Amino acid sequence: MEGENQLLIDKRKLNIEESIDYETLKLIQRDLGIAIADQREPLNRIEDNLMRTQIHLTTAEKNILEAKTLNTRAKKVIAGGLLGAAMLTPVGYYVGLKIGVYCIVGGAAFGSAATRSIIS
């Protein structure tokens, strides 16, 4: 059985070897050369896209780091503004009341003096 299989394999090899001649090999080589040349442009485009992607990733990383820094700074400014507003609101209210009282008293005194001057 093994001898028969080996005989069939040898016949098949012989048929394959006889069927491929020099001209066929030349045509196959030419076709492969054309196929490789046709693939060069798509490969170049893929390479260009990869390089652009690398540049975009580097830029994105820088932008993310800058945004993180600005976000931290903004939080500090907002916290300072809220703290200042919380601390100065009572002071502003007190100063406003004081100025309001002075305006009322001053206006009443001026109005009273003006009225006396007009009447007399």
Q: What is the enclosing helix (H) or strand (E) of 110?
A: helix 22-119
pLDDT in tens, 56-93: 999 999 999 998 888 887 787 777 777 777 777 777 77
Task: Give the model's pLDDT for residue 14.
Answer: 64
Single pTM value for the model: 0.40
Give the integer Cα–Cα distance in Å for 27 and 29: 5
Q: How many CA atoms lie within 13 A of 14 on its CB side?
A: 6
What is the radius of gyration, based on Cα positions, of the chain? 47
User: Between residues 44 and 20, which one has the greater pLDDT?
Assistant: 44
- 11: DSSP letter: H
Which two tokens mark 118?
Answer: 């007009």
